[in-house]
Amino acid sequence: MSLPPNSGQIDAWNDAVGRTWAKYQEQLDKQLGRIGWRAVEPIKLQPGERVLDVGCGAGATTMDLARIVGAKGAVTGVDISDTLLGVAREREPRAGSARITWISGDAQTYAFRPNSFDAVYSRFGVMFFEDPKAAFENLRMATREGGRMSFSCWRKVDDNPWMTLPLKAAGELVDSPPQAVAGAPGPFAFADGGRVREVLEGAGWNDVQIEPFDAAIGGADLDATAQLMTRVGLLGAALREVGADRYLIGAAEDMVREAVRPYLKEGGVFIPSASWIVTAKA
């Protein structure tokens, strides 16, 4: 019996990975917020529009989109993680925000109503598809003619010290994670801008624009930064893989804390990141 598409990602985001992101969602939203807003700007949302938020997670981006399109608009947040959607559903929308619909489903296969969205948006939620072309074909079908899409995705892992620095700092405590297969589902699946263009154009999207965006991300103190970096990203995955106990995790936190200390500024720890801001039209 064959497994459904994206079954590995669905399992992960409804298990340890999803629980971790739910626990640290406020800190993660703060850390990723600047990049997320940069991806909102190009689609120039208007009051009354209908927007799809792909990989909406705990719903912070969905709430922001709902505020922009206002009470006459509508925003749909879709995610494979019931764990994160549980957090999203508990959030209270601001007065004057659009009505919000939450969908527990896979954007690659979900049967959206054709031509039902004016815009599609995602903050780091589109790199996990087993079949990206099929996923973006599905999103294209759901978007009206002339509709817009914008999303952020990570560039190469070596261009993202926020991800590599923790693993280098505490690497002696864990086995090195296996090298990811180029293009395989995961945070860096869209690191190659040329591949992103090929996927989108092959899925029927036009006027594809791919712009690099560099930003120092973070904003928490040393302790909170070290704690987060031992729970998410490459180091977090490596520690989960070895079933790290609290003593091993504590040792990793100490190492990471010292490694990120040079990045401590007024307002918290800020570490360089490198992403793509991708836009296209239907």
Condensed to tens digits (0 to 9), the pLDDT of residues 86-105 reads 999 999 888 899 999 999 99
What's the number of domains the chain is made of?
1
Q: Contact 5/130 with Cβ under 8 angstroms?
A: yes
Residue 171 is assigned to a structural domain of this protein: no
Residue 106 is assigned to a structural domain of this protein: yes
For the chain, give the mean pLDDT. 94
Residue 260 is assigned to a structural domain of this protein: no
Q: How far apart are CA 151 and CA 186, in angstroms?
A: 15
Residue 171 pLDDT level (bands cut at 50, 70, 90): confident
Q: Contact 182/176 with Cβ under 8 angstroms?
A: no
Domain that includes residue 46, residue range? 7-156+179-215+275-281
Provide the 3-class DSSP secondary structure of residue 112.
coil
pTM: predicted TM-score of the whole model, two decimal places: 0.95
Residue 244 is assigned to a structural domain of this protein: no
| pLDDT digits 0-9 by tens, 177-192 | 666 667 789 999 999 9
Residue 145 is assigned to a structural domain of this protein: yes
Residue 136's CATH number: 3.40.50.150
The rounded percent of the chain whose pLDDT value lies above 70 is: 97
Residue 96 is assigned to a structural domain of this protein: yes
3-state percent helix, strand, coil for the chain, nearest multiple of 5: 45, 25, 30
Eight-state DSSP code of residue 259: H
Residue 237 is assigned to a structural domain of this protein: no
